[in-house]
Copies of this chain bind each other. A is one copy, B any other.
Amino acid sequence: MPLETSEKSIKYTSKKIELQILKKLENLGINIYDEINKKHFPSIELPSRSTTNIIYNPKIRQYVLGDKKIFRSARNIRHLRPFAQLLWLATFAKELILTDKTSTLRDAFYNALGFGIDFKDQAESDDTIMDLEALLNTSRENFHVFPEERSSVFGPLIVEFTTKGYEGRRLDLTSIPDGAMIGPSMAKAEFIKCKAKMVLVVEKGAVYQRFLEEKAHEKFKAILIHTAGQAPRATRHFIRRLNHELHLPIYIFTDADVFGMHIASVLIYGSALAAHITELNIPDALWAGVYASDIERYKLPAMKLSNIDIKRLKELEKDPRYQKDPWKKEINVFWKHQKKAELEAFSRYGLPFIVNEFLPERLAEIERK
């Protein structure tokens, strides 16, 4: 039983995190049993995730929860249902960790149905899982609830898997030409040996493939990551680990449009929705383009901003994450030219251009700043 193992004797970081979560879950259970034994109604206090309690902290450059708490007591008939739902999910999380299995938000919902836990729909069980995250102050991936994997990684890094049945197995991340998926096992693998000097993150599969084929990993001694649009949280955590554990600079490349800019900003500053988790953001990562201003500069094929783009742009203008450059400056360029372009647009100068011309230019510019 992991609970009887001392933290020191555990080899893998991911297992240490799990042990900490198991201890928190155990304490949660002990407190409830204690209250019942004392003939009290058991209760739980957890940070409120309501929008009025989500505040942007400019010092640590991310959204966080304020001091408001919510209180759920078995004494209150209206609390009883969410109280029991939360406890059932805590049990489910414990089982997942102890059996080293993973689940998804959807699977958790169906599993709950089978146990007669009365969630009216998946939205309700998703929300309760976020309560559990807030209560444990950890992201659900740490108690094995994962999104569908779709991101991928390639580069000069050797990892060691810690998943049950694969402990100690190593993988050189240059050995699979298409890259390796960032699934549950990759997300918590240990970093063993790294020859990389930087991480290049791209939102588009086609550009990732271009980076692979033009050997950006060799030319820039880089680990390449494909987020596949808005990065799944397991991928955000993985990139954060590359930054924190290996001290690698992170450069993010997105489309020169409002949504691309936001993909970069969520990676860096986090989202309001995940303000209850502080282990996903990468405040030192840098957005490296494609900027709105690159459209003119590189004469990229561009499209007119749509009404949706314009609406979104107005929202971002008011967002605290966009009050400084390069964000502020690039928003102004969007307003001025009303144009957007994709990363693939560099292909107008031939397929190798983005790696052989654009990348060195941009990285040198960032270096000089």
List residues of A whose CB falls within 8 A of some B CB. Answer: 101-104, 106-107, 110-111, 113-114, 146, 148-150, 152, 161, 163, 165-166, 169, 171, 175-186, 204-206, 209-210, 213, 215, 228, 301, 342, 344-351
Contacts and interface: CB of A to CB of B under 8 A. Distances in A.
A149 B186 CA distance: 18
Given A110-B348, A113-B301, A206-B106, A181 B178 contact: yes
B110 A344 contact: yes
A204 B152 CA distance: 18
Contacts of A111: 347-348, 350-351
Contact of A184 (B101, B178, B215): B178
A181 B228 CA distance: 13
- Give the copy number: 2
Given A149-B205, A176-B171, A176-B176, A344 B181 contact: no
A270 B6 CA distance: 56
Given A101-B213, A107-B347, A180 B180 contact: yes
A186 B181 contact: no
B348 A206 contact: no
A178 B183 contact: yes
Contacts of A206: 103-104, 106-107, 148
Given A113-B301, A148-B205, A301-B113, A107 B178 contact: no
A351 B102 CA distance: 9
A110 B301 contact: yes
Contacts of A150: 150, 205, 228
A179 B171 CA distance: 12
A166 B172 CA distance: 14
Given A175-B169, A175-B171, A206-B107, A347 B180 contact: no
Given A113-B301, A205-B148, A101 B351 contact: yes
Contacts of A165: 177, 215
Given A149-B205, A209-B184, A106 B342 contact: yes
Contacts of A103: 206, 347, 351
Contacts of A176: 171, 176, 180-181, 185-186
A104 B342 CA distance: 13
24 contacts: A101-B213, A101-B351, A104-B205, A104-B209, A107-B206, A110-B301, A110-B342, A110-B344, A110-B348, A114-B348, A146-B209, A148-B228, A149-B152, A149-B205, A150-B205, A163-B177, A165-B215, A176-B185, A177-B183, A177-B185, A178-B186, A179-B181, A179-B183, A180-B181
